[in-house]
Structure 1
Amino acid sequence: MDVDAVVFDVFGTMTDWRSSVAAELAVVGERAGLHADWAAVADAWRSRYRPVLGRVLAGELPWQPLDALHRMMLDEALPEHGLGALGEAERGELVRAWHRLRAWDDAPRGLELLHDSRLITATLSNGSVALLTRLAKQSGLRFDCVLSSELARSYKPDARVYLMAAELLDVEPRRLLMTACHPDDLEAAARAGLRTAYVPRREWGPTVTPPPPPEGVDLVADDIASLARVLTS
């Protein structure tokens, strides 16, 4: 594929947010003497993500960094699972769990293969620059550059986010490849003129089948290492 740079969604595509967040919920909750189905709590928290970001894009909520929105979502989700007793310190620690997500096993290997090629790699996530920088460092994800929707003061799937990435990397949109496990992310990137690659992930747990690739996607790869081998062959 004739592209100059590859940008990656992070939550779900490069990292296993569900098991990472569930594990941190268990540590914090049980330390406070609370018990719950921690995977279900993680799911309830994450399920608010798209609706809340949609409210920001619709102008119903002011733009805020994702940490602030994550805190809002967490405060809504905890009482539903009998966890309203968690205090300010515990909630702040849980919001920062998104800075410490574990990478899928293939993601660091794939990025290393791309790093040795001519292609530029970068994040293109709704996480903040601070979040993404810390996450990449601790999880061994070697990107050439950290880009965030924060730089456009918006959130994906706003077209401005994808075009901002092309502008900052000084590449034409048609020579920028957006890689994600979320079809709607790829559809929005394609509408903005980017090329797209779909990597299926069981981000909602091992029993949940990934969605099919979006119509018109340029490339489908089993994982990031497979994607890298295709792009560097």
Structure 2
Amino acid sequence: MDGIRVVACDVFGTTVDWYAGVAEQVRELLGDTDAGAFASQWRERYLPSMANVREGRRDWAYLDTLHRESLDELLDRHGLDPDEDTRRRLVRAWHRLPAWPDSVEGLTRLRERHILAALSNGGFALLTNLVKAARLPFDCILSAELARTYKPAPEVYLTAARLLDVAPDEVLMVAAHGWDLDGAREAGLRTAFLERPGEKGPHQAADRGMAADVSVASFTELADLLSPAGAGR
């Protein structure tokens, strides 16, 4: 891990608990709907919707637009027809998600010795709202919106390195998802797999044992690995 200057962190699932956060807000807004299943089905549309942009099957659209399109399809499938205000509030559920218990402490420690960046497929406004609400101590937000494509396209990771004026191998990408780590590695970044067993709730199995330069169970464990014993405490 020598030579790491930037720690770039995935957000959804890695830094914040999207499943619990979205399910809670779905429950509030849609009442009797199985909120957990609804949240999981919505998330299932996440990668395919971005692949349509990344692979040129549709023009660039930021994540709120993709979430809204997926939401409308899912509501129709469930036979639900909430009003426009409710639909907008549901889309903005992704702007307000709780941090995992180790995130703030671990990120704070990582920030003492490294540039700490949020590197996510979320739109810039979404990430700004989320980081502020969850009090996440990032030095900067690097939205895929800046590259006009989505992870795991190499342009997203390379844009992050270019904007921070570092070489790709000076960036450590931290994620709970194998596809994200694979994309980062192919772009020349170093990688850290952060295992989140409960990330997808009870409906889907979380990624486990993904290939990476290092594997950890928390941001605090990663801070221990990247800092000399007792540093920053």
- Measured in 1, the distance between the counterparts of 2:208 and 2:96 equals 28
Which residues of 2 match residues 185-204 of structure 1 at below 5 A?
185-201=180-196, 202-204=198-200
CA deviations 1:101-149 (Å, max 9, x no partner) are 11101011111111222x0000110001111111011101110111111
For structure 1, list consecutive stretches of 5 or more residues without a partner in the other structure: none
Shift of 1:79: 2.2
- Measured in 2, the distance between the counterparts of 1:59 and 1:207 equals 31
Please state whether the residue corresponding to 1:146 is helix, strand or coil. strand
Shift of 1:80: 2.2
What's 2:43 paired with?
46
Q: AA paired with 1:165?
A: A
- Measured in 2, the distance between the counterparts of 1:131 and 1:19 equals 17
- Measured in 2, the distance between the counterparts of 1:8 and 1:211 equals 16
For structure 2, list consecutive stretches of 5 or more residues without a partner in the other structure: 229-233
CA contact (8 A) 2:98 2:134 kept: yes
Q: AA paired with 2:8?
A: V
Which residues of 2 match residues 67-146 of structure 1 at below 5 A?
67-83=64-80, 85-117=81-113, 119-146=114-141
CA deviations 1:144-169 (Å, max 9, x no partner) are 11111100111101100000000011
Residue-pair matches, total = 226
- Measured in 2, the distance between the counterparts of 1:209 and 1:86 equals 30
1:20 has 2:24 as partner: no
Please state whether the residue corresponding to 1:161 is helix, strand or coil. helix
Compared CA separation, residues 207 and 46, structure 1 to 2 (3 A): closer
Q: AA paired with 2:145?
A: E
CA contact (8 A) 2:40 2:203 kept: no
Shift of 1:205: 1.1
Give the TM-score taking structure 2 as reference length: 0.94
- Measured in 1, the distance between the counterparts of 2:87 and 2:111 equals 36
1:179 has 2:179 as partner: no
